[in-house]
Structure 1
């Protein structure tokens, strides 16, 4: 478990030179594209894209139509989490400096990370924002007002004003905040606190922690149904998914694979998909499909080694899973619960996100 925590918390990424051959002038950097390997990086008309955050120092941009990597953005650092905004206009990623990876005692490091934002179609940089120590996950509010970033070693969440990409608030959370989701009405964020087995409920009107929910051992990531009534939490040390009725507080736990990491609820709220990572020495290689109505496992799907990040297509037909120790993405046909394509991406893929239709 210790190795897992080190991997999750410390292999996040910083992009200190996000642009290829850019000058030091900030106004010039906005006119440059990310340092990528593609020949026609901006020729994206009519396509939809997946993005993976690769801890080996890159972002992969994948065509949903062709299931091929269209561009690889090289980073001077390690990328952990990545998210496309609900309107599809911006991609955000969390970054930690390479210098923070040196030494054994990561808890003593004082190295501010960054959130970076770029245009998913043109690959142009929009903004770099310094956040807290070891930023983990990044999520946009659906109303377009805020972007939130969990800072794992600061026990806080940075609130970024999307209109100008300035930090307007740091909200204290529980210990070791990591993965989270925001309600579709943009009113609440549910942040898993890996260091204290709780979920912080943040009120985005008051920008304060409203309460904590005791979820179970080592909560890694949360998911939330679109009606805001059901919360799901991956419990890494329990090999389980907690399903919580937010109106009553009643909790059910469903056994999944070994070492669950991320969870994603498909658009119609029927199924939650849990990526089972395991550890680097003993990696898991499965995705657990959980029926949220019956609270039963509907299917267990074979993936690559170290399944971590997961997202479903907006039409619920496919699920995409990053396999950290295979450097691949598994494409799963949800109608048959089988992998139909495996895509080679950058080294140690972690977070994954998809553009809306």
Structure 2
């Protein structure tokens, strides 16, 4: 009996120690930098607004339909969120947030397509481009007027993410189920090329000079590098497990990849195509780390315009990790809502 009591006391002390350590290891924000971060939380159905200088949450805005991704517009400052919905009930709109007052300004219909996911701002003032998982359209929307100006079929399945060429009227769309990229001329309103891969394509970004398109193939665990003039694949770069997103640094010298299955962020030299380092997010080493930090699942990546920091949404841990772009280490974490995904920045 005495032995059982000793064991119970011992286990109780371990439990209390773990609980105490857990609270000590909660996300800690320790940097000061300009601007406001907007974090889209899927399960919470909300957008957390976080002051990056003061290091505190300003507001959490509820979104009626489950949101996924976000982008920003200026003059006036707005954050535009895709209302994705659920597999049972796909959304058919985007939400416009006034970033000066942090209030919801309006919602805009995306027409017949549903489950809008990827969104980017366009060079033309007050316009965004949105792609849909169901319907598979590229939609051009005037946020100021609330008008859906055009819809162009991607001609592929599960059109998920997109990027704009820096100097040409070309948008590249990554299509998961088709394992392809649709090259769309938004002046001609047509697909000019389909770039096909062996497996699913998801993460997508373009080099600063527009010469290369980098696309993650999430089943092969590689990055396909594509010449934007010839549309030929010039390199295949190994990644970690399930590379969901990638993003180039502000200076264009590096590319960060979120390996969702590994709980890591790989950093590559954009010129040599070689891996510079691999950043491990706490939560994978052992059962104690898993309990304290939760098993990490990095997804969205956003670069701070000053080039000093990168923000990575840690999907399963309800936090955003802050990476110092000078030494590629995690220097802070931000507690947010459940299942953070898309990220946006307003200066």
Q: TM-score of the superposition, structure 1-length normalised?
A: 0.78
Distance 2:322 2:84 in 1: 28
Residues 154-199 of structure 1 deviation map (CA, whole Å, 9 limit, x = unaligned): 1212211244121121111111100111122361111001011110
Match of 2:128 among 124, 128, 147: 147
Match of 1:189 among 171, 181, 196: 171
Work out whether residues 299 and 315 of structure 2, in 8 Å CA contact, stay in contact via their aligned partners in 1.
Answer: yes
Residues 245-299 of structure 1 deviation map (CA, whole Å, 9 limit, x = unaligned): 2124242111111111111111211111111112xxxxx3111111110001111
Shift, 1:145, TM fit: 5.6
Distance 2:125 2:214 in 1: 24
Distance 1:184 1:87 in 2: 20
Distance 2:208 2:36 in 1: 23
Does the residue aligned with 1:238 lie in a helix, a strand or coil? coil
With over 3 angstroms needed to count, the CA separation of the structure-2 counterparts of 1:219 and 1:116, relative to structure 1, is same
Q: Which residue pairs with 1:295 in the alignment?
A: 273
Match of 1:62 among 40, 44, 50: 50
Bigger Cα Rg: 2
Shift, 1:88, TM fit: 7.2
Work out whether residues 244 and 257 of structure 2, in 8 Å CA contact, stay in contact via their aligned partners in 1.
Answer: yes
Distance 1:116 1:185 in 2: 28
Shift, 1:120, TM fit: 1.4
Q: Answer yes or no: is 1:313 the counterpart of 2:299.
A: no
How does 1:215-226 map onto structure 2 within 5 Å?
Answer: 215-226=197-208
Q: Which residue pairs with 2:219 in the alignment?
A: 237
List runs of 5+ in structure 1 lacking aligned partners.
1-45, 103-108, 279-283
Pairwise CA RMSD = 1.9
Distance 1:88 1:228 in 2: 28
Distance 2:36 2:241 in 1: 30
Distance 2:83 2:76 in 1: 21
Residues 301-357 of structure 1 deviation map (CA, whole Å, 9 limit, x = unaligned): 1226110000111122111100000001000111121111111100000111222x5
Match of 2:235 among 252, 260, 264: 252
Work out whether residues 65 and 84 of structure 2, in 8 Å CA contact, stay in contact via their aligned partners in 1.
Answer: yes
How many residue pairs get matched? 297
Shift, 1:69, TM fit: 2.2
Shift, 1:47, TM fit: 5.2
Work out whether residues 160 and 166 of structure 1, in 8 Å CA contact, stay in contact via their aligned partners in 2.
Answer: yes
List runs of 5+ in structure 2 lacking aligned partners.
1-32, 283-295
With over 3 angstroms needed to count, the CA separation of the structure-2 counterparts of 1:339 and 1:218, relative to structure 1, is same
With over 3 angstroms needed to count, the CA separation of the structure-2 counterparts of 1:161 and 1:319, relative to structure 1, is same
Residues 85-142 of structure 1 deviation map (CA, whole Å, 9 limit, x = unaligned): 3667221111134xx444xxxxxx6x44211112212113333112221111111112
Distance 2:255 2:312 in 1: 13
Q: Which residue pairs with 1:264 in the alignment?
A: 247
Match of 1:96 among 71, 78, 84: 84
Does the residue aligned with 1:325 lie in a helix, a strand or coil? coil
Does the residue aligned with 1:134 lie in a helix, a strand or coil? strand
Match of 1:209 among 164, 183, 191: 191
Distance 1:242 1:86 in 2: 33
With over 3 angstroms needed to count, the CA separation of the structure-2 counterparts of 1:208 and 1:116, relative to structure 1, is same
Q: Which residue pairs with 2:151 in the alignment?
A: 170
Q: Answer yes or no: is 1:273 the counterpart of 2:256.
A: yes
Work out whether residues 58 and 72 of structure 1, in 8 Å CA contact, stay in contact via their aligned partners in 2.
Answer: yes
Q: TM-score of the superposition, structure 2-length normalised?
A: 0.81
Distance 1:255 1:87 in 2: 41
Distance 1:67 1:299 in 2: 28
Q: Which residue pairs with 2:109 in the alignment?
A: 130
Distance 1:95 1:64 in 2: 25
With over 3 angstroms needed to count, the CA separation of the structure-2 counterparts of 1:312 and 1:130, relative to structure 1, is same
Shift, 1:239, TM fit: 1.1
